[in-house]
Each structure stands twice: as structure tokens, then as C-alpha cells.
Amino acid sequence: MTWNQTHERYRLLNDAEAELRAGLAHRLPWSPAYAEAFGTPERLAQALRHRWRIRFQAQLDPTLSQEDYEATFADLLADLAPLMGRIGTHEFSEELADASA
């Protein structure tokens, strides 16, 4: 993958997440640009899930007290839950729980 292709994929991921956050899309956004970059809606959803999993793991500090850790976990999950629901990945919250263990 070239730098330009990578840059375009990141831009499209940002666009898809922005659409989901704005509530403009009640399901996974899809267009010819997404098709060219990701191939299938499933691969776009997979890329978004990967992005969110990395974000989730990066923001959970294992040195936090149990109470602060649980509060941060809940805040992160609340931020991502609407997005996950819009793309039909409700079970992803279980993945995040496993990833944070």
C-alpha cells in the first residue's frame, strides 16, 4: 500500500466515524470511495473496530485505581457504544472488555 493509499484510508475512516458520530448515518456509511479503499462494508467495519480497539486500549491506564479504571472504561464504552450499534457490532463491547483485562 502506498503512502497516498494509506492517507486516503485514514481520511475515509475519519469521515466514516464523523458521519456515525453526527448521527447522519444510522448504519455503516458506504460510497464508491469506501468501496475502492476497503473493498466491502465488512472490511470497513473491521477497520473501524480495529481503530476503536486500539483507541480503547491506549486510553486505559493500567496504573489507575480500580475505581478510576472502571470509570474510564465506562466513559470510553459510552463514547463508542452508539457507533458500534450503528454498524451492528454490539458484541464489540465484549471484545473491549476482554482487551482491557
Handedness of CA 75, 81, 83, 84 (dihedral sign): positive
Domain chopping of the chain, boundaries: 3-100
Q: Is pLDDT at 3 greater than 80 in this prediction?
A: yes
pLDDT class of 98 with cuts at 50, 70, 90: low
Confidence class of residue 6 from pLDDT cuts 50, 70 and 90?
Answer: very high
Count of other CB atoms within 10 angstroms of residue 66: 7
pTM over 0.85: no
Residue 23 phi, psi dihedral angles, 5° rounding: 80, 10
